[in-house]
Structure 1
């Protein structure tokens, strides 16, 4: 997926697409997901500068918009940073509030499971590689292809298979994994954080297992643990 910058002639449609994906993703989850996404949507619609990718707002103002206390704001913003949806662009300094930026591509990748629910045209449109002028594209770095393995290193072959299927997904998630054990039909992987371990185990263990199946069919299940 290549996400055009939401400015120019097609900006309104792209903004609606992003907000639609967030809304439907929220409705497909429990009340906790719905509340979290409603909160980030409120920040996007009230304070987000699409052209500059800047969200300039203080914790006190966020608390007022969300009708919560500042402790809740701190916890919720940490959760959004953990998802990779939001990052601090410029920290708060005396007399000036923090400026955040949104990773719109990560947001769309994480909501991709609901695209077909919105419509096949939506899924095709969002998955399409648009032909636009280079100045209209937001560059997202993708790791270069992995080196070919000699067939003896199972984990390297699994990583190569994951990279080959989806370089962007590999760059966001799989490249951070290491294999710590492979025994008894179980491959144990290590992720750098508990959030990443739980997320990958829940959402991508099937894809990892399929990659193992092409290299070492004896592996029948995946376990993802956290380093911290």
Structure 2
């Protein structure tokens, strides 16, 4: 499910890095975001099995830990699943609780804009850069970057979010998409070719939909059509 593994010789440091990323992300957001992330961090530090990526705990126990009612637990866990941070590994049945997991890669991608608030050493460590990167090489001509200024539209806001998560992936696959408009709960995106549209549907549709839904929860469907 994920490439990030909190195991091996540096397991403890990796766990702290994940929690630090979540903390920085929460502190950069509003009160509702802070409360939701704090509640998830409470579950991680008390009930999460890092080795197996398992989070198996009843709603009643979560409610007691969070000091809320079970209806609040259902609502917040649904929000965490919708944003892709929590995934269902095995649905509960016949009195058995569901086994959940964390998409650590998704968490790191979503929290990346706040990493700089921790410090350049943290950013360098998580990006595999070692020491902070030197200044740009003036002998290299950079590729032209797409204009990612938010225009207030559904796709405009999603473009900004996708570019912040992974600039290289954005330039290759998301930047060429044109806004086909919103109809009801469906956003239509126009790809430059049939191959481009097919690749997005197969490999990146979930990521696209999550980026759209984080800004506009009412948009639950996505159509990708060739031009």
Give me the TM-score of the superposition, normalised by structure 1: 0.61
Pair 1:74–1:47, CA change in 2 (3 A): same
Q: What residue is the counterpart of 1:97 in the other structure?
A: 97
How many residues of Structure 1 are paired with residues of Structure 2 in the alignment? 163
Q: What residue is the counterpart of 1:56 in the other structure?
A: 56
Runs of 5+ unmatched residues, structure 2: 131-158, 182-186, 190-204, 222-227
CA deviation vs aligned residue, 1:76-127 (integer Å, no higher than 9, x gap): 0110011100011111122321110100011011110111111101101111
2:38 aligns to what SS in structure 1? helix
How far did 1:14 drift? 0.5
Q: What residue is the counterpart of 2:30 in the other structure?
A: 30
Cα distance between partner residues in 1 of 2:64 and 2:168: 40
| Contact 1:53-1:101 within 8 A present in 2 as well | yes
Map 1:1-228 → 2, pairs under 5 A? 4-128=4-128, 165-167=167-169, 174=174, 179-180=179-180, 190=188, 196-197=211-212, 199=214, 226=219
| Contact 2:115-2:122 within 8 A present in 1 as well | yes
How far did 1:178 drift? 6.7
Q: What residue is the counterpart of 2:224 in the other structure?
A: none
1:23 aligns to what SS in structure 2? helix
Cα distance between partner residues in 2 of 1:10 and 1:4: 12
Pair 1:165–1:23, CA change in 2 (3 A): closer
Pair 1:5–1:46, CA change in 2 (3 A): same
| Contact 1:89-1:99 within 8 A present in 2 as well | yes
Runs of 5+ unmatched residues, structure 1: 131-157, 182-188, 202-224
CA deviation vs aligned residue, 1:7-39 (integer Å, no higher than 9, x gap): 121000000011011111111111101100000
| Contact 1:48-1:54 within 8 A present in 2 as well | yes
Pair 1:194–1:15, CA change in 2 (3 A): closer
Cα distance between partner residues in 1 of 2:68 and 2:16: 27
Cα distance between partner residues in 2 of 1:168 and 1:58: 39
| Contact 2:4-2:104 within 8 A present in 1 as well | no
How far did 1:66 drift? 0.7
Cα distance between partner residues in 2 of 1:50 and 1:169: 33
Give me the TM-score of the superposition, normalised by structure 2: 0.62
